[in-house]
Structure 1
């Protein structure tokens, strides 16, 4: 299956989101018009999230994660889940091409750690439940902690079996846990979970949801008491729990969750899920953004999630899992941490340079407070404008106004420029998806796509190539408000 741009898969924004985005921004505004993420946090929290791509939007630009698919057994059934389905281009929780034994997982972790200097986190996210399939989870994490001690360890779980393993998680130095919590009202839970398996027996209906809810809250509280950082994932299901997630957010915030990640339901019929087969619709991008805005507060709201596979490897924007198939890995490997340490020192210098550049480039802005732009950016990572438009596999969508710059979504696309020639149909689909945005910023772009975009009302520029993303957006926005004649011209050449 190719990476299409169906309504259920796009995690970008749309012009309809402008009104809500103009008044409420994401958890990580930056540049001269906003405060950066670390300023509002305690030093201990900053240390925990600074290189964890799932717990920090800024960190995901620099650091990679690896999910090891060692835990296939699951103790609940969700109406949005079918772990049997697998497509190489499908980014969906619970999906994995191959299940690993703990020994295979260690081999893969060692190989990735030696070849991917950005690696900072190793986690277990299924393809079932890490806490229910505990024997395999534990047998995987203990040797990894011993052999690769400089990487962080984390797990994802539905929370049902979590309480009985919290103490062991602490002993193994697992510092981050993600719990999927879709309801705090068991009546709503009956619409999401047909059954659970707990304490040796199967429960259905309201009893199943009540037990799941109680165990999730207990596990969350136990983790918070022990200083483990918690991210709560919730699947937004229109007409089922979309409004109810406001209550979920309050419950998890009161019990110590650090971050709340609301993900859009994926319910394509081809996946064979209950929702997919019964025409349950996905949320629209504007609905998702509006809900995230409503949740913004003391608990961070995640806006950079890719709904990763259970065997994902690499940066969130660049999955390299296919490069590390078990059949291609060396039989034995030793930990070579030199590349990782050198990379982390480089990133520290990059971050310091970016902070200094941001301070030096601060521009007092005067203009209409409701002036807001939606800007698409092509990037390979590192927080810079460094990808050719024709080679991009995703676009990052930012909004900017006087209140700050916020990342509000990602749009996966297929590269249209291959081997010196362009695929017209692919280009047209990308242009259709960008219609309504105010600007495209990329490192390079040809006259052909520039002119086509311009005809659809989307100017494009390659003038900021190599710049930090936020600095490029800041410079352009300031020029717009001041009508700066020295700003890069967005020219078109109609033949």
Structure 2
């Protein structure tokens, strides 16, 4: 079997509407997580059970745990109103396969009532081998496995315990059991043609130098994509008590570059979503879909859904083709003299610069020399203002934190910005540009100007 399979024609069709597997699709297609799985069979040292935390870290937080019937009702109501909903997944708040009956009952109900959505499962992989037939029978085509280590000695620093078949394992023994099950499950799923994404939490001082080996191993077993995410330390967790820190953006980017350097497809647009998230990545709308709104939802209209999604899929294909065209262009003699400009983009989605600086809770980071464009990743921030259009507040601490997070960026694109944050960013070497429109075109334009000024000699006369 060919390893690192993502990229074939059939596979591209399967990810064309999946926002997590396809960087371009996440601008247009929405996903929905159904929180039906409260129990977990492992204890990660970055997790705190009081916060209903899934093995993938803080994303496990949910507002309420649903029954399978409630989950199916909510899926129908959301699909009827959110026409770009293309994926329904179960990711917690515990481990879905530690709650296998609830998980698979939910999937069966969703499959019968909203047949046009793709089903997606996230798991720590401990009991994956027991459920291969269920996954195949239900047509679950996308499975994410969180694999933080392939060395039990390193794993013993990540997992406090593993509970399997009535026995609690600790230390190296626990890690060895979990890792062996994860790798066996990944291999078996890939052999059955299921598209697998591997998530790995980057933990500085624990597995930071080890994750390239994890990436090589999962690629050899057939994983389609590797998602290296930054550690989020849950309040009250062992890691918080030990004083563990989250990785810095440059550390995450450097490791992603290493893991992707040997041909592994790397996910860079992950938002580390909650287990009850709804909407586009980075734009959680779960609060919009109350039970009152679900009950008032219009009947499901499969024809209208397919018409809209087909048009969105065409936009995804066009963006992918443009990116391939840019990447395949032969280099010219001046390329060596071009300087890569790092650009931060404030966006509500759809590939547009359409968000005010003060309202941004994340920035999309790109590098470009005016010809080539490369997506680097997502950087989350605390929004500078809450509701005020001019954002000329006195939130100096928040503004300093944003400047620190974006300190390697030369340009920031947004739809608006107040005078005070504008001046502060400029003092930090970041040029805010107020623009609206297609993000890629604006990034290339700003990078060309940056290259021009950096390569134009200053006149002496």
- What range describes the TM-score normalised by the shorter chain of this pair? 0.7 to 0.9
Say yes or no: does 1:65 pair with 2:34. no
The worse-fitting range, judged by mean Cα deviation, of 158-167 and 438-447 is 438-447
Aligned residues: 440
**1:160 and 1:339 mapped to 2: Cα distance?**
40
**Contact 1:440/1:458 (CA < 8 Å) preserved in 2?**
yes
Say yes or no: does 1:347 pair with 2:304. no
Cα distance, 1:339–1:424 mapped onto 2, change above 3 Å? farther
Aligned ranges 1:272-283 → 2 under 5 Å:
272-283=236-247
Cα distance, 1:397–1:141 mapped onto 2, change above 3 Å? same
**1:148 and 1:279 mapped to 2: Cα distance?**
45
Aligned ranges 1:23-102 → 2 under 5 Å:
41-85=7-51, 92-102=58-68
Name the Cα RMSD after superposition: 2.8
Q: Hey, what does 1:456 align to over in structure 2?
A: 428
Q: Deviations over 1:349-398 (max 9, x none)?
A: 534665787769x8976244561211111111111222233333322111
**1:150 and 1:350 mapped to 2: Cα distance?**
19
**1:275 and 1:432 mapped to 2: Cα distance?**
24
**Contact 1:398/1:409 (CA < 8 Å) preserved in 2?**
no
**2:241 and 2:291 mapped to 1: Cα distance?**
34
Q: Hey, what does 1:251 align to over in structure 2?
A: 217
Which residue of 376, 393, 411 corresponds with 1:407?
376
Secondary structure class of the residue paired with 1:84: helix
Q: Hey, what does 1:12 align to over in structure 2?
A: none
Q: Hey, what does 1:440 align to over in structure 2?
A: 412
Aligned ranges 1:111-260 → 2 under 5 Å:
111-260=77-226
Which residue of 267, 270, 293 corresponds with 2:257?
293
**1:338 and 1:440 mapped to 2: Cα distance?**
40
Q: Hey, what does 2:444 align to over in structure 1?
A: 474
**Contact 2:338/2:451 (CA < 8 Å) preserved in 1?**
no
Secondary structure class of the residue paired with 1:288: helix
CA apart distance, 1:412: 2.9
**Contact 2:30/2:85 (CA < 8 Å) preserved in 1?**
yes
Q: Which runs of 5+ in 2 are unaligned?
A: 455-461
Cα distance, 1:348–1:327 mapped onto 2, change above 3 Å? closer
Secondary structure class of the residue paired with 2:58: coil
**Contact 1:80/1:267 (CA < 8 Å) preserved in 2?**
yes
**Contact 2:362/2:378 (CA < 8 Å) preserved in 1?**
no
Q: Which runs of 5+ in 1 are unaligned?
A: 1-37, 485-495
**1:122 and 1:110 mapped to 2: Cα distance?**
11
Say yes or no: does 1:392 pair with 2:360. yes
**1:305 and 1:462 mapped to 2: Cα distance?**
26
**1:321 and 1:224 mapped to 2: Cα distance?**
32
Cα distance, 1:185–1:391 mapped onto 2, change above 3 Å? closer
Q: Hey, what does 1:309 align to over in structure 2?
A: 274
CA apart distance, 1:107: 1.2
**Contact 2:47/2:58 (CA < 8 Å) preserved in 1?**
no
Q: Hey, what does 2:458 align to over in structure 1?
A: none
Cα distance, 1:138–1:184 mapped onto 2, change above 3 Å? same
**1:352 and 1:215 mapped to 2: Cα distance?**
37
Q: Deviations over 1:195-219 (max 9, x none)?
A: 1111232222222222111111111
**Contact 2:17/2:25 (CA < 8 Å) preserved in 1?**
yes
Relative to the length of structure 1, the TM-score reads 0.82
Cα distance, 1:224–1:355 mapped onto 2, change above 3 Å? closer
CA apart distance, 1:334: 4.2
**Contact 1:186/1:210 (CA < 8 Å) preserved in 2?**
yes
Say yes or no: does 1:375 pair with 2:343. yes
Of structures 1 and 2, the one scoring higher in RCO (CA 8 A, sep 6+) is 1
Cα distance, 1:134–1:389 mapped onto 2, change above 3 Å? same
**1:403 and 1:174 mapped to 2: Cα distance?**
36
**Contact 2:120/2:143 (CA < 8 Å) preserved in 1?**
yes
Cα distance, 1:334–1:373 mapped onto 2, change above 3 Å? same
Secondary structure class of the residue paired with 1:470: helix
**1:353 and 1:110 mapped to 2: Cα distance?**
30
Q: Deviations over 1:28-63 (max 9, x none)?
A: xxxxxxxxxx9x821111111111111111111111
**1:433 and 1:283 mapped to 2: Cα distance?**
12
The worse-fitting range, judged by mean Cα deviation, of 420-429 and 40-49 is 420-429
